[in-house]
A and B are shown apart, each in its own frame.
Chain A
Amino acid sequence: MTELTAAASRTAVDAHRRLGAPAVLPVARQLALRGVLSMIRIPAAIVPVVVMPVFFTLAFSGAFSAIAELPLFPTDNILDWMVPFAVLQGAAFAGFGVAYGTGRDLENGFYDRLLLAPTPRLGLVLGPLIYSAARSMLPLLIVVPVGYLGGARISGGPVGFAVLALAAVCTALLAGLWGLGVVYRVRSQRAGALVQAGIFVTLFLSVGQVPLELMTGWLRWVAERNPFTYVLTMARQGFLGEVTWADTWPGLVSFLLGAAGLGWFAWRGFRRLVP
Chain B
Amino acid sequence: MTSTTTATATSHPATNALAQTLALARRSVLGTARQPVIWFPAVVFPLLIAAINSAALGRSTALPGFPPVESFGQFLLVGTLTQGVLFGGIIGGSDLALDIESGFFERLVASPVARWAILVGRLAGSAVLGAFQAVVFIGVFAAFGAPIEGGPAAVAVIILTAAVLAVAVGGFAAGLGLRTGSQEAVQNMFPLLFVLVFVSSAFFPTALMKGWYRRAAEANPISWMIDGLRELVITGFDRSAALTALAVASGLAALTLTLATTQFRRRLRAAA
Residues of A within 8 A of B (CB): 51-52, 55, 58-59, 61-67, 69-70, 193, 201, 204-205, 209-210, 214-220
Contacts and interface: CB of A to CB of B under 8 A. Distances in A.
Given A58-B213, A70-B63, A63 B55 contact: no
Contact of B57 (A67, A201, A217): A67
Given A59-B198, A64-B204, A66-B204, A214 B56 contact: yes
A65 B209 contact: yes
Contact of A62 (B52, B55, B213): B213
B59 A219 contact: no
Task: Determine the main DSSP class of A at the interface with B.
Answer: helix
A71 to B, nearest CB: 9
B52 A205 contact: yes
Contacts, number: 75
A212 to B, nearest CB: 10
Interface of B: prevailing SS: helix
B209 A66 contact: yes
Given A204-B52, A205-B52, A64 B57 contact: yes
B41 to A, nearest CB: 8
A52 B63 CA distance: 29
B63 A215 contact: no
Interface residues of B, number: 30
B199 interface: yes
B87 interface: no
A49 to B, nearest CB: 14
A16 B89 CA distance: 54
A235 to B, nearest CB: 18
A216 B52 contact: no
Nearest to A55: B195
B55 A65 contact: no
Contacts of A218: 55
Contacts of A63: 198-199, 203-204, 209, 213, 217
Contacts of B12: none
B31 interface: no
Contacts of B208: 65-66
B55 A217 contact: yes
29 contacts: A51-B191, A59-B195, A59-B199, A61-B213, A63-B199, A63-B203, A63-B204, A63-B209, A63-B213, A63-B217, A64-B57, A64-B60, A64-B204, A65-B208, A65-B210, A67-B57, A67-B60, A67-B63, A70-B59, A70-B60, A70-B62, A204-B52, A205-B52, A209-B56, A214-B59, A216-B58, A219-B51, A219-B52, A219-B55
